[in-house]
Structure 1
Amino acid sequence: MQKVTVLGAGSWGTALSIVLADHNHEVRLWTHRKEQAEEINNKRQNERYLKNITIPENIIAYDDMKASLEDTDVLVFVVPTKAVREVANQVKECLNHQVTLIHAAKGIEPDSLKRVSEMLVEELPEHLYRDIVVLSGPSHAEEVSLRQPTTVTVSSKNIEEAEKAQDLFMNEKFRVYTNPDIVGVEIGGALKNIIALGAGISDGLGYGDNAKAALITRGLAEITRLGVKMGANPLTFAGLTGIGDLIVTCTSQHSRNWRAGNMLGKGNSLNEVLDQMGMVVEGVRTTKAAYQLSLEYQVDMPITHGLYKVLFEQKQPKDVVDQLMTRVKRHEMEDLSSMLGDSKTL
Structure 2
Amino acid sequence: MNINIIVIGSGSWGTSLAISTSYKFTTYLFVRDHKQAQIIIKDKENKKYLNNIRIPSSIHIITDLQKIIKLLINSKIIIILCIPISNLRKIVSELYNYIIKFQLFNISIIYTCKGLESNSCLLPHEVIDEVIPVDFIKYGVLSGPSFAQEVAIKLPTALTIASNHENLKNDIIKILHRDNIRIYTSSDIIGVEVGGALKNIIAIACGISDGLQLGFNARAAIITRGLKEIQNFGVKIGACPKTFFGLTGIGDLVLTATGNMSRNRNIGLEIGKGKCLKEISTYQLNAEGVKCAQAVLTRAKQLNIEVPIIEAVCDILFKGINPTFIVKKLLSKDSKTDS
Question: Structure 2 length as normaliser, TM-score?
Answer: 0.93
The answer on 1:191 being equivalent to 2:198 is yes
Q: How does 1:175-190 map to 2 (within 5 A)?
A: 175-190=182-197
The answer on 1:103 being equivalent to 2:108 is no
SS where residue 184 of structure 2 aligns? strand
User: What is aligned with 1:34?
Assistant: 34
What is the CA distance between 1:144 and its match in structure 2? 0.3
What is the CA distance between 1:130 and its match in structure 2? 2.6
Tell me how far apart the structure 2 counterparts of residues 68 and 37 of structure 1 sit (CA, whole Å).
15
Q: How does 1:49-68 map to 2 (within 5 A)?
A: 49-68=49-68
Q: How does 1:149-160 map to 2 (within 5 A)?
A: 149-160=156-167
Give yes or no for contact 1:30–1:68 (8 Å, CA) kept in 2.
no
Alpha-carbon spacing, 1:135–1:321, altered in 2? closer, same or farther (3 Å): same
Give yes or no for contact 1:65–1:90 (8 Å, CA) kept in 2.
no
Question: For 1:68-94, what per-residue CA distance to the aligned partner results, in whole angstroms no more than 9, with x for missing partners?
Answer: 433161111110111111222332333
Range with bigger deviation, 66-75 or 175-184: 66-75
Amino acid at match of 1:118: E
What is the CA distance between 1:121 and its match in structure 2? 2.3
The answer on 1:287 being equivalent to 2:293 is yes
The answer on 1:321 being equivalent to 2:322 is no
What is the CA distance between 1:302 and its match in structure 2? 0.3
What is the CA distance between 1:166 and its match in structure 2? 2.1
What is the CA distance between 1:279 and its match in structure 2? 6.3
Range with bigger deviation, 66-75 or 244-253: 66-75
SS where residue 7 of structure 2 aligns? strand
Amino acid at match of 1:36: Q
SS where residue 113 of structure 2 aligns? coil
User: What is aligned with 1:237?
Assistant: 244
SS where residue 57 of structure 2 aligns? coil
The answer on 1:11 being equivalent to 2:12 is yes
Question: For 1:285-317, what per-residue CA distance to the aligned partner results, in whole angstroms no more than 9, with x for missing partners?
Answer: 221111012101111110001011111111112
Q: Which of the numbers 306, 311, 328 marks the counterpart of 2:312?
A: 306
Amino acid at match of 2:261: H
Give yes or no for contact 2:264–2:284 (8 Å, CA) kept in 1.
no
Question: Structure 1 length as normaliser, TM-score?
Answer: 0.91
User: What is aligned with 1:2?
Assistant: 3
Point out where structure 1 has 5 or more consecutive residues left out of the alignment: 337-346
Tell me how far apart the structure 2 counterparts of residues 301 and 66 of structure 1 sit (CA, whole Å).
43
Q: Would you say how many aligned residue pairs link Structure 1 and Structure 2?
A: 330
Q: What's the C-alpha RMSD, in Å, of the aligned pairs?
A: 1.6
The answer on 1:116 being equivalent to 2:117 is no
Query: Matched residues, percent identical?
Result: 36
Q: Which of the numbers 151, 162, 185 marks the counterpart of 1:144?
A: 151
Q: Which of the numbers 87, 93, 102 marks the counterpart of 1:89?
A: 93
Point out where structure 2 has 5 or more consecutive residues left out of the alignment: none
**If each structure's strand is expressed as a fraction of its own residues, which one has the higher value?**
2
Amino acid at match of 1:113: C
Give yes or no for contact 1:108–1:114 (8 Å, CA) kept in 2.
yes
Give yes or no for contact 1:27–1:59 (8 Å, CA) kept in 2.
yes
